[in-house]
Amino acid sequence: MQSQERKIQAPVPNLETQAFWDACAQGKLMIGKCNACGAVYYYPRALCPVCFSDKTGLQQASGNGTIYTYSVMRRAPIPYAIAYVTLAEGPSIMTNIVDCDLDKIKIGQAVKLVFKPSDGGPPVPMFTPI
């Protein structure tokens, strides 16, 4: 039921994450890309977590991924699923699995990106089974 939508806390962008959240507002999920060693990673950050280069930028993720692991929070007022999704590009993202029967979520399930509005902030990237 739509009236049972969980309220999502607004993310608070900072200098390092502003471009990421601006992209979310345009419906794009960005991952970090190192121009020195070629690594892609999540979350995006100024220094490459692999080689510590500052020659980093953002790359748009396809939005396709698979569920690596998940947990259903049933004691919340509105139950929800928290998960790690491994993106097609390689990095994993901690997220929520939404718009599905929480009892039917499976590890290894293919998912795709959806954005959910937050409470007064930028939309938040989440995933739904394909």
Residue 47 within binding range of Zn ion, rule CB under 5 A: no
Residue 59 within binding range of Zn ion, rule CB under 5 A: no
> Which residues lie below 8 Å from residue 31, measured CB to CB, with a gap of 6+?
40, 41, 42, 44, 58, 59, 60, 61, 87, 89, 91
At 19, the amino acid letter reads A
For Zn ion, which residue of 40, 43, 53, 72 counts as binding (CB under 5 A)? 53
Residue 48 within binding range of Zn ion, rule CB under 5 A: yes
For Zn ion, which residue of 10, 19, 39, 82 counts as binding (CB under 5 A)? 39
Stretch touching Zn ion by CB under 5 A, among 3-11, 19-27, 37-45, 103-111? 37-45
